[in-house]
Structure 1
Amino acid sequence: MPFKTNSGRRHRIPKQRYKVTNWSDYDAALRQRGSLTVWFTEEAISAWQAEPRTTPGGQPLYSALAITTALTLRAVFRLALRQTEGLIGSITQLLGLDLAVPDHSTLSRRAETLVVPEPAPKGGGMPVHLLVDSTGLKLCGPGEWLVEKHGTGTRRGWRKLHLGTDADTWRIVASVLTNHDADDGSQVGPLLDQVEGPVASFTADGAFDRDDVYAAVAQRHPAADVIVPPRSSGVPSEAAETAPTQRDRHLRTIAERGRMGWQRASGYNHRALIEADISRWKRVIGDALRSRTDGRQATEAAIATNVLNRMLDLGRPEWTRLA
């Protein structure tokens, strides 16, 4: 990649400087992210008890909203299930609410089949400029300590999280949790299926330079631009002269302007936003999954996605470049 080529001279290049123009509003939004009143609303209180069941079987005591609220607090404050139970009990006591508190066993059992609402679009029906990337999330088990203490290989398992972000709103609009051996390109279809409305462009790194990725985007959104850097060994297709594909046009632009020129011309540099989302996930939510089963891990990832989107809805920075 170009940044690796210029790494030996990067110390000579002055770092870009930016100024946040809405600092007072953004500062207030950052403080609100730690406020309990953001997460425990009047709607959650009124819908805490489950509706009467009309089919045979046991009657649930807590609604899906109650379980989602508890698991949301767990994700925000990085708590275990028992500590989550204690936090919910403290909140209801301080507010003077006569609400039953779900115990940790109920939270664990309901998380297996909980249906978490998908991220709601905020773009007003405008086409989405989708940015896609993936990262690894650790699972419980022996890890770094085993390597440090005994010098043996780690046995810690991990899962792969695939994210799709709207470049205009910065919101996570699609997420898929897979095993660690799932390749990135195979999840393009499931990610696109979660996006409501048209997709104007699909941007990803060089790992997505595959025919099936272009085909998956073209099948669902024929007018979408696929902005993926071709491999350094990439060659044009046989029909490049008569009917050039999007990849052929990328190769032609790279040959004329170089990789850096292609990045500026194609808008590939916006992919930094998805890397920022992954960094925000690791700093706010953490780099590991606390749940043990596949269903609970999927619920945990879906709730974390909603948490980050709700934090972003409180306020985001606006800036101008100084140098």
Structure 2
Amino acid sequence: MSSTLPQPVATSGQSTAALPTRTGQILHTVGNLLLLIGVYVLLYAGGLQVQIEYNRLAARGDNALPAPHAVARPQSFSTGAVPAAFTAPVLEPPAWASNVWDGPTPPADAPFVSQVSRISIPAIGVDWKVVEVGWEIVTDPDGQQVAVWQVAEYAVGHHHGSANPGEGDNVVLAGHVGGYGMVFRDLYYVQPGDAITVYSGDEQYLYRVQEQLVLDEENVPDEQRIANAGYIQPTGTEMLTLVTCWPLEGPAQFSQRVIVRALPYAPTFAGDPADPANAVGPPSPWGVR
């Protein structure tokens, strides 16, 4: 008598036996993906840091590397007239600035081309390249269009439309106190009498600091901001004006502006003329070397 043996019946445990394997595969794939993302982030961050360090090096004035580009010009960048809201009264030259320039004045309609390439302030260890910067037109919360000056990220910026050294007017240079470049980090500590050398064209123009000011810029009346803007307006006399934000940190961070103003200076040297400490004797009104 033949009999049929019972066939094994699949149990619920057998039907789910493959689940741990599939779950493991999914976790393995996710883990690999996260690992790849981590590697990419590390490579990107490392490459970004390398680029930052290169830009800092390129911005130094003591090498021949090409200067870093200024901040990108937005579509609203203008090289012509700025809005009326930006207009500030022309600053009257202070008493100590009278009769310091008797050189030729370029024609009023001459196109502006920045000639400044480098600035050195030995007292605070500054030696940076200079690039031209312009302004961008922005709309404030009240709907008014105002012009905001750009600031170069790594180098010092020469304001478009301000004078070149030797043109008998206000040479305006601005730089970040913080950020990547921190080119004017120690501008606050400049003192009257400190020497500044500006490289323009094939010449080196010597200036001596006359005053350093700290001006409130935020949460002040419009009249004060307009008065502050006067320091970067034409002066009608040879002058160097340096601008940065202040303080570097704290609750009032960047709410003020440090303004340094300097006049042409031609010292008589005893020893190496490359060392401002060797300057002796009364200065003449202008120094070019």
Q: Verify same fold: TM over 0.5.
A: no
Q: Bigger radius of gyration, 1 or 2?
A: 2
Q: Higher helix fraction: Structure 1 or Structure 2?
A: 1
Q: Higher strand fraction: Structure 1 or Structure 2?
A: 2
Considering Cα pairs closer than 8 Å and 6+ residues apart, tell me whether 1 or 2 has the greater RCO: 1
Q: TM-score, normalised by structure 2?
A: 0.23
